[in-house]
Amino acid sequence: QSALTQPPSASGSPGQSVAISCTGTNSDVGGYNYVSWYQQHPGKAPKLMIYEVNKRPSGVPDRFSGSKSGNTASLTVSGLQAEDEADYYCNSYAGSNNVVFGGGTKLTVL
Amino acid sequence: EVQLVESGGGLVQPGGSLRLSCVASGFKFTNNWMSWVRQAPGKGLKWVANIKPDETQKFFADSVRGRFTISRDNAKNSLYLQMNNLRAEDTAVYYCARDNGWHTYDFWGQGTLVTVSS
* pLDDT, tens digit, 9 for 90 and up, residues A24-35: 999 999 999 999
- Any idea how long chain A is? 110
Q: How far is CA A46 from CA A91, B73, B109, in A?
A: 12, 25, 9
Residue A67 to chain B, least CA–CA distance (Å): 16
pLDDT of residue B118: 95
- In the predicted model, is pLDDT for residue A2 greater than 80? no
Distance, CA of A13 to CA of A78 (rounded, Å): 11
Q: What is the pLDDT of residue A66?
A: 98
User: Which A positions 27-86 lie with beta carbon below 8 A of chain B?
Assistant: 32, 34, 36, 38, 45-48, 51-52, 57
Rounded Cα distance between A86 and A64, Å, is 13
User: How far is C-alpha B5 from the chain's CA centre?
Assistant: 11
Which pLDDT belongs to residue B34?
A: 97
Q: What distance in Å separates the CA atoms of residue A24 and residue A26, rounded to the nearest whole number?
A: 7
How many CB atoms neighbour CB A66 within 10 A? Answer: 22
First to last CA, chain B: 40
DSSP state of A28: T
pLDDT mean by block of 10 residues, chain B; 118 residues: 97 98 97 97 96 96 97 97 98 96 94 98
Mean pLDDT, chain A, rounded, equals 96
Q: Are B112 and A63 in contact (CB under 8 A)?
A: no
Nearest by Cα to B24 from B55, B56, B1: B1
CB contact residues (below 8 A), chain B span 16-55, against chain A: 37, 44-47, 50
Residue A19 has pLDDT above 90, yes or no: yes
pLDDT band, very low/low/confident/very high, at A1 (cuts 50, 70, 90): low
Closest CA to B39 of B95, B109, B85, B116: B95
How close is the nearest chain A Cα to the Cα of B93, in Å? 10
Strand partners, B5: B23
